[in-house]
Amino acid sequence: MELERQILTTCLIAACCWLVGAEDCGAWAQDKSELLAKVEKTFGDPPGMKRLDPVSRAWVDLKKKLVVVDGYVALQMGQLEMFACPSGTKEHESVVGLFTKAYHLHAGLLAIGAKQGRPVKWEPEYQPATGSEIQILALWTDDKGVRQSVDARTWVQDLGTKETLSTNWVFAGSLFYKDPDTGEQRYQAEGGDLVCVSNFATATLDVPLQSSQVNSGLLYVANTLKIPPEGTPVRLVFQVAAPKPADSKDSKKVTADATQNGQPKANPAKPQDSAAPKKNGIPTKNGPTPAIRAPKNPSPSKSPEPPTKTPTKPVRKQA
């Protein structure tokens, strides 16, 4: 029943994408026509994938459980609230601008089996966003014509520690807003809150940790040295992260005991006196004392005869 509901929801959202996609996507595509042409020249349609919209560059692979979306590097240096946003929204604070609507990505994630959670909560106390954990891979071609691919988190840097983003995103799912005047439903992430690194209650994908959206408290910046130049065509690949193995104190202890600096520990040598065989409690040098075996075909009734001496010839004296 749950699977049927998910498939039905996916179909309904995808149908909306097809019905309104051409009009919506045409508006931002015209503004970014040169970038769009550059992206189309760099990336062809992914083989075997279904397009989520006739105009946007978003596909889904139901067999491999992947969602693919094309875009471009929007920001190489600066503070971040987003990692990725729909083109024409928040490129001034996003590393990547995408030629898709937010609900296209939402539909694709549902189609590959991602579980929608809920957005971040701030009251009465902070509760991080929830949902399926999503991994993102970034693909591009460098200035030498070589295809490159990296974990998208390497393009986001912690302002304080200078380390790259350590957590994957979660599928929070954003919110729908009903216009009280027109009654029209609006998907809130269309304002730009598609793949966030600051917490937004309107985010489609968010980080599951507390991250302020106040300018003075922003935690993340673009990792400039890792990001290709602005305007570089980029393809993002989304997939549900593999579940982590259940942790337990025992398994952690075994892991800690069995490894040292990431390498397996050699088995400690046993003390020589405990490993060597013993005879009467005394270690022997040449291994275990062999067992004393009885002679074959013993004759217990006949006593052993004493050994006989061989007679010697007398020695003659010379005259």
Alpha-carbon dihedral angle through residues 212, 128, 193, 61, given to the nearest 10 degrees: 140
Q: pTM here?
A: 0.70
Q: Which helix (H) or strand (E) holds 292?
A: none
Instruction: In whole angstroms, give the CA distance from residue 269 to residue 184.
Output: 74
Instruction: In whole angstroms, give the CA distance from residue 63 to residue 78.
Output: 38
Task: Report percent pLDDT > 90 for the chain.
Answer: 55
Class of residue 223 by CB neighbours under 10 A (exposed 0-12, middle 13-18, buried 19+): buried
Residue whose tokens read 């992206």: 39
- Alpha carbons within 13 A on the beta-carbon side of 279: 8
Q: Taking phi first (over 0 means left), then psi (-120 to 50 degrees means alpha), and beta for anything else, what does residue 145 get? A: left
Average pLDDT, the chain: 76
**Crossing angle for the helix pair 102-111 and 2-31, nearest 10 degrees?**
150
Whole-angstrom Cα Rg for the chain: 37
> Do 139 and 148 form a contact (C-beta atoms < 8 A)?
yes
Residue 274 has pLDDT above 70, yes or no: no
Instruction: In whole angstroms, give the CA distance from residue 20 to residue 107.
Output: 14
Collapsed DSSP state (helix, strand, coil) of residue 270: coil
Instruction: In whole angstroms, give the CA distance from residue 168 to residue 202.
Output: 18
pLDDT tens-digit series, residues 88-124: 999 999 999 999 999 999 999 999 999 999 999 988 8
Predicted confidence at residue 212, as pLDDT, reads 61
154-178 average pLDDT score: 93
pLDDT tens-digit series, residues 216-257: 456 899 999 999 999 999 999 999 998 776 654 433 433 333
229-266 residues labelled b (16+ CB within 10 A) or e (exposed): eeebbbbbbbbbeeeeeeeeeeeeeeeeeeeeeeeeee
